[in-house]
Structure 1
Amino acid sequence: MMHARKRMGRGGGAWCGELAAHSPEGEGRVKAARRGSSRKKQLSHQAHQNGWSGERQSLVADSSRGNADLCKRVMVVVDASQESKLALKWALSHVVQPMDVLTLLHVQPPPYLRLSYSSHGSFFNAKAVEEVRRKNEVAGWELANQFKTLVATCRPDVEVEILVVEGDKGPTIVAQAKKLEVSILVIGQRKPSVLWRLLKKKKDSLAEYCINNSDCLTLAVRKKSRRLGGYLINSQWQKNFWLLA
């Protein structure tokens, strides 16, 4: 399995994102929260009581009190889609705080090529597989670095880590989020097509898979529409929540 990581140190500059105010009640809950399942249960309760507003208050509280031990890790899944870029921009303005660590995860699919039964054919195809894998890795790093540049431009105060991994996308995302003890996972979500709606009962989308299988809070983000504006946010507790900001 291809597995590579790169980190970029903290930069200077003012934070251009927005901070949400949090209530004393919400802050009290956050003090009792811990990473992993206990944190997820706490966020679940608050989200149920207060909707997205209350959920967001808890998300920003960890890193707004100035304690380095309470900074969180936010993971954003990046690929070549516009939905991925939108999800990153949304995370930078709504979730990521100055003391947080931002992980940009790009998952490369395995280069599936059918191997020949002959020894010569098998050798040839094995070489072809490695060549495809090498090209995919280079392309993956180039793509991830484009997103890193976007972060550096908008949020130079955020520490960024790039992760390029090969594997089946859904399970790989979930596994990496668990391995790195991610607090919040953000993924772009496409508007479902008519065909997808007909087949929905048979298979979850990538975003739905991550929401249903991740241990951490997972947020799927997409644009509401050009005419209406805003975002639609999906999580384990909120479906198609319309956020105008």
Structure 2
Amino acid sequence: MEVPSSGAPKKVMVIADPTRESAIALQWALSHAVLEKDELFLLHVEQPVSWRATFSTFLRKPSSPVIMSTASNSSLEANIVGGDTDFLDVMKHASEVAQPKVKVHIERIEIDGKDKASTILMKSRMLSIDILAIGQRRSLSNAILGCRRSGGSTRGTRGIDTAEYLIEHSKCTCVGVQKKGQNGGYLLNSKKHRNFWLLA
């Protein structure tokens, strides 16, 4: 699956969360979507502070040295998911190491009762994003039955995965990224391609 490239600098957005799936989406973007002189946006959409404080204590692990090398995918994943360092700072630093000529931006949006997917779509339009990448969790039903499309539905993300909603409704190219085994490459989903296997 080819990502759009007209030769002009692109704006690439990765949905950033303290999850393994988000780390994988960033790894794919850095190795396959971002080129020199492109801009990379790391967008984190979060719940209000009271919810976040409760959940962050659950996610937090004991402090450990942060390994910034992007040579080891598992290192990046481990440092994004746990540790005392802000996962967005880890992702930004890893991006700058991997692509020194790419300008990296961090965007945080706090939503209070708003729909996460709609907020992401609005922000991607505001920034004129060319490629949107989001980590996608592989469910058993998706693996067996394939992903169900939402068609022309505008009912929001209830009953449908956020990544699937973004793939269907994004004006720009949206890619759902999954890891295919430890060294098996990536499984990519977009409007045009389903379960496209790309070697790492």
User: If the length of structure 1 is used for normalisation, what is the TM-score?
Assistant: 0.58
Question: Is the radius of gyration larger for structure 1 or structure 2?
Answer: 1
Distance, in Å, in 1 between the alignment partners of 2:94 and 2:199 is 23
Alignment counterpart, residue 186 of structure 2, candidates 202, 213, 231: 231
Partner Cα separation in structure 1 for residue 162 and residue 175 of structure 2: 12
Which residue of 110, 129, 132 maps to 1:182?
Answer: 129
* AA aligned opposite 2:176: A
Name which of 147, 153, 161 aligns with 2:97. 153
CA separation of 1:191/1:179 partners in 2, compared to 1, >3 Å: closer, same or farther?
same
Instruction: Tell me the matched-pair count.
Output: 160
Length-normalised TM-score, structure 2: 0.70
The aligned residue for residue 240 of structure 1 is 195
For 2:81, the equivalent position in structure 1 comes to: none
Measured after TM superposition, the shift of residue 195 of structure 1 is: 9.9
- Structure 1 position 99 matched with structure 2 position 37: yes
Residue 138 of structure 2 is aligned to residue 191 of structure 1: yes
Q: Secondary structure of the equivalent of 2:105?
A: strand
Indicate the structure with greater helix content.
1
Write the letter of the residue equivalent to 1:222: Q
Q: How does 1:1-245 map to 2 (within 5 A)?
A: 52=1, 55-56=2-3, 59-60=4-5, 62-63=6-7, 70-110=8-48, 142-167=86-111, 168-194=115-141, 203-226=159-182, 229-245=184-200
Distance in 2 of aligned mates of 1:71 and 1:91: 15
Taking the aligned partners of 1:130 and 1:84, their CA distance within structure 2 comes to: 20
1:65-96 deviations in Å (ceiling 9; x for gaps): xxxxx211100011011111111011111010
RMSD: 3.0
Deviation by residue 1:204-223 (Cα, 9 ceiling, x = unmatched): 11110111111110001111
8 Å CA contact 1:109, 1:169 repeated in 2: no
What secondary structure sits across from 1:165 in the alignment?
A: strand
Task: Tell me what 1:116 maps to.
Answer: none
* CA deviation map 1:172-215 (0-9, x unaligned): 111111111100001111111459989x8772111101111111
Task: Give unmatched runs, 5+ long, in structure 1.
Answer: 1-51, 64-69, 112-128
